[in-house]
């Protein structure tokens, strides 16, 4: 019997990046010709229709975690013709924890949701005032927005105040069994039937952790220019003041599902091997797998479907009017793979081997791979 234990201490340090533009803190101005009819003329007049600037956090993202793994396995002969292999793997895979930069979104509060951040006092101190203004955070109990706008305001709570886990996500212990056998049905030992099945969990770290880092302490301020004849029309926006920041222009990008489960796959196979003649053998196999709880990123701020005509508007408003988008990395996507594989092997003298294989496979999924096939990420 074999058994073992694996402990891994992981540390990730990386700079925060908004992902919107290479400009980052320098910002971007956008001209579309809507004021003069010509993009370049709008630029010469200094009247962008849209402007943004990214306020990056004051420190790098710094995440740490410890992963725990244990296993036990045994192979034994049940009979002269039957060999069994059994195993069990236990794993506990907490997400990265950064005491300052973590922020998550709780969609359980209708209308506004709740913003949850690390309980470390340094996390509260790092909150961007402009961000608090832009999403209309409640000033109580953490005093981050002295002049909240019209009700309702967005609750802004530490993980301890909200009753959430320290790393803003639940942690689960995974039990993943494996079983296999090899059976010789005939006395000539020319035929072997093999089969196996097992559950395998998957570690998700970088993109999942990075999505909840640098939100309340680093954000993108969005501004729209005034129209013709309005005060301030011929003026660049003041990107250091909250005046001109618009509600419903800030996105939460990207939250983590609080009860997000670790992805895992169930894999199985059945094969028949037979010596056909002399040094020629044939193997026919059925191989399948199903991956569960794969990560996908829905937008929680979408209106429900309606049968009303388009020109009458949607009778179902978006769930969180203060926000533009609320992206979340959630579990629940699946993929399946099934194949029939055949293989013929013939061994010649002097170490020469001829091998020929053929595979008939089907692969279905309701989520995209990372990166997407168009190399755009996702």
pLDDT digits (tens, 9 = 90+) for 204-245: 887 788 888 888 887 777 777 766 666 656 566 665 665 556
- Rounded Cα gap, residues 108 and 296, in angstroms: 19
The better pLDDT of the pair 151, 264 is held by 264
- Rounded Cα gap, residues 255 and 301, in angstroms: 12
| Within a domain: 232 | yes
Is a pLDDT exceeding 50 seen at residue 377? no
| Within a domain: 212 | yes
Is a pLDDT exceeding 50 seen at residue 67? yes
DSSP 41: H
Question: Six-digit token pair at 204?
Answer: 């998700």
- Rounded Cα gap, residues 179 and 90, in angstroms: 15
Question: Six-digit token pair at 136?
Answer: 């209309």
Q: Encode burial over 4-33: b for 16+ CB neighbours within 10 A, e otherwise.
A: eeeeeeeebeeebebeeeeebeebbbebee
Res. 332 pLDDT band, cuts 50 70 90:
very high
The better pLDDT of the pair 115, 15 is held by 115
Question: What does the pLDDT read at residue 54?
Answer: 77
Res. 317 pLDDT band, cuts 50 70 90:
confident
| Within a domain: 229 | yes
Q: Report the 3 state secondary structure along 135-158.
A: CCECCCCCCCCCCCCCCCCECEEE
Is a pLDDT exceeding 50 seen at residue 154? yes
Range of the domain at 328: 2-16+56-306+313-365
Is a pLDDT exceeding 80 seen at residue 376? no
Is a pLDDT exceeding 60 seen at residue 145? yes
Question: What does the pLDDT read at residue 248?
Answer: 66
Question: What does the pLDDT read at residue 274?
Answer: 96
Mean pLDDT score, 335-354: 94
Percent of the chain scoring above 70 in pLDDT? 87
Res. 378 pLDDT band, cuts 50 70 90:
very low
| Within a domain: 47 | no
Mean pLDDT score, 185-209: 91
Is a pLDDT exceeding 80 seen at residue 57? no
Mean pLDDT score, 36-44: 91
| Within a domain: 240 | yes
Mean pLDDT score, 4-18: 85
pTM over 0.95: no
The better pLDDT of the pair 206, 362 is held by 362
The better pLDDT of the pair 234, 61 is held by 61
> For all residues of the chain together, what is the average pLDDT?
86
Mean pLDDT score, 259-280: 95
Question: What does the pLDDT read at residue 98?
Answer: 94
| Within a domain: 42 | no
Question: What does the pLDDT read at residue 21?
Answer: 46
The better pLDDT of the pair 11, 241 is held by 11
Question: What does the pLDDT read at residue 149?
Answer: 80
Task: Return phi, psi of residue 130, to 5°.
Answer: -65, -40
Question: What does the pLDDT read at residue 375?
Answer: 35
| Within a domain: 370 | no
Is a pLDDT exceeding 90 seen at residue 345? yes
Res. 343 pLDDT band, cuts 50 70 90:
very high
| Within a domain: 39 | no
Is a pLDDT exceeding 50 seen at residue 373? no
């Amino acid at each position: 019997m074999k058994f073992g234990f694996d402990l891994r201490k992981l540390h990730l340090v990386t700079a925060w990046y908004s992902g919107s533009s290479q400009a980052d803190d320098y910002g971007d101005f956008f001209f579309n010709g809507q004021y003069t009819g010509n993009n370049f003329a709008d630029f010469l007049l200094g009247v962008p229709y849209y402007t943004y600037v990214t306020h990056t956090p004051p420190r790098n993202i710094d995440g740490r975690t410890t992963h725990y793994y244990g296993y036990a396995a045994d192979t034994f002969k049940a009979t002269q013709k039957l060999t069994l292999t059994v195993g069990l793997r236990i794993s506990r895979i907490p997400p990265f924890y950064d005491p300052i930069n973590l922020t998550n979104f709780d969609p359980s509060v209708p209308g506004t949701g709740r913003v949850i951040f690390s309980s470390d006092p340094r996390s509260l101190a790092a909150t961007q005032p402009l961000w608090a203004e832009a999403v209309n955070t409640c000033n109580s109990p953490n005093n981050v927005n002295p002049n909240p706008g019209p009700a309702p305001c967005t609750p802004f709570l530490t993980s301890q105040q909200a009753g959430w886990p320290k790393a803003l996500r639940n942690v689960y212990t995974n039990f993943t069994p494996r079983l296999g056998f090899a059976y010789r049905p005939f006395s000539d030992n020319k035929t072997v039937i093999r089969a196996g099945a097992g559950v395998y969990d998957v570690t998700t770290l970088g993109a999942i952790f990075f999505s909840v880092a640098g939100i309340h302490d680093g954000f993108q301020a969005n501004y729209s220019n005034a129209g013709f004849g309005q005060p301030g029309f011929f003026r660049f926006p003041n990107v250091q003041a909250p005046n001109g920041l618009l509600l419903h222009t800030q996105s939460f990008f990207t939250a983590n599902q609080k009860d997000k489960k670790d992805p895992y796959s169930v894999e199985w196979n059945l094969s028949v091997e037979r010596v056909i003649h002399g040094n020629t053998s044939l193997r026919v196999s059925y191989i399948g797998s199903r991956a569960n709880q794969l990560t996908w990123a829905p937008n929680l701020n979408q209106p429900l479907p309606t049968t009303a005509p388009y020109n009458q508007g949607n009778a179902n408003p978006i769930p969180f009017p203060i926000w533009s988008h609320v992206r979340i990395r959630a579990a629940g996507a699946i993929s399946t793979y099934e194949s029939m594989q055949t293989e013929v092997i013939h061994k010649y003298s002097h170490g020469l081997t001829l091998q020929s294989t053929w595979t008939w496979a089907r692969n279905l999924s309701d989520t995209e791979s990372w990166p997407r096939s168009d190399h755009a990420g996702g």
